Amino acid sequence: MSVNSRGTVRDPVIAYIALGANLGDPVAALLQAMDDMAALSHITLTQRSSLYRTAPIESSGPDYVNAVVEIQTALTAPVLLVQLQQLEQQAGRERPFYHAPRTLDLDLLLYGSATIDSPNLVVPHPRMHARAFVLRPLTEIAPHCVTVNQLRAVQGQTISRLV
């Protein structure tokens, strides 16, 4: 894979992004974030999961609304992460403490077949296989990315499909 000075790669990559929110209007926030991602240069949003409601894990506050999208992108993973973080900031994301309630959370789950371990980015996402709110929507749009054993491991977590 070659990278040019704009942070793009020659051949587009399929990536999966988890979305979550539990402050304000989380449904509207996720739908807006999906539209905002689709409008970014070098990104084509190819699939959207249903929206799911889940209780906070390792946190407090209102229930979350979660989803996963599949994109095709010519952006490198680090540049994509910066773009996602900018969308979070535009949605009013604050990080007062670890696992704080949020207006929008965007996590890069998978970036092609890449394995990335840097101070700013770890792919595959290190906790994705322990979260029903990631695996259920991911299974809906990319069943080849999730195993039966992974789903079985999170079956005790409460999750309900909204739309």
Which residues are identified as catalytic? Answer: 93, 102, 105, 107
**Would you say 22 and 128 are in contact if contact means Cβ atoms under 8 Å apart?**
no
* List of residues 6+ apart from 163 with CB closer than 8 A: 50, 51
What is the rounded CA–CA span in Å between residue 63 and residue 69? 20
Q: Rounded CA gap, 95 and 116, in Å?
A: 23
Q: In the structure encoding, which two tokens stand for residue 6, read together?
A: 């704009």
Rounded to an integer, what distance in angstroms lies between the CA atom of residue 162 and that of residue 23? 17
Contact 122, 82 (CB under 8 A): no
Alpha-carbon distances of 21 from 26, 36, 51, 153, rounded to whole Å: 5, 15, 11, 23
* Closest of 110, 70, 107 to residue 87, by C-alpha: 107
